[in-house]
Amino acid sequence: MLSEKLEKALNEQVRIEAESSQVYLSMASWAEGKGLEGIAQFMYNQSDEERLHMLKLVKYINERGGHAFVSALNAPKTDFGSFQKMFHELLEHEIFVSNSINELVHVTLQEKDYATHNFLQWYVAEQIEEEALARNILDKINLIGNDKGGLYLFDRDIQQITANSAAITPQ
């Protein structure tokens, strides 16, 4: 059985994961509108992945005797200025989510809920991967600079990153 404090914290993470899905969906739509099909597909996949993270939490809360809530979400921004700025925001957002997961893990230790602590280790590992991927993408973007040919290749290649990560990421 989940403690009231932990149930509330887990439900807050449900909201964060849902909002993350919306943020990436908005990024996908923006990129698609700019003709950046590879980037758009990458962001659509990120959005889907965040929704799966949310659902995993919802099911866990309910399985442990809690009640998962579907709450109101803050609307994401709709303009990102440039694809470079958008990927900087992606990294910043992943760091925010990592910090949130770390706080949640801290609550599990305070509450001595080792089952939930164990459950959250998947999220800890996932966030390490998400941040590393975002940093790797930013490194590639910095190599491109303002080269239009480089942007074309990057947009095409990021679809490959999406395909590769989808093949190895457990759902």
Q: Residues marked as binding?
A: 17, 50, 53, 94, 127
The DSSP secondary structure of 73-125, one letter per residue, reads: -PPPPS--SSHHHHHHHHHHHHHHHHHHHHHHHHHHHHTT-HHHHHHHHHHHH
User: Could you report how far apart the first and last alpha carbons of the chain are, in Å?
Assistant: 25
User: Which residues make up each annotated binding site for Fe cation?
Assistant: 17, 50, 53, 94, 127
131 neighbors 94 (Cβ within 8 angstroms)? yes
In 3D space, the residue among 142, 127, 128, 136 whose CA is nearest the CA of residue 162 turns out to be: 136
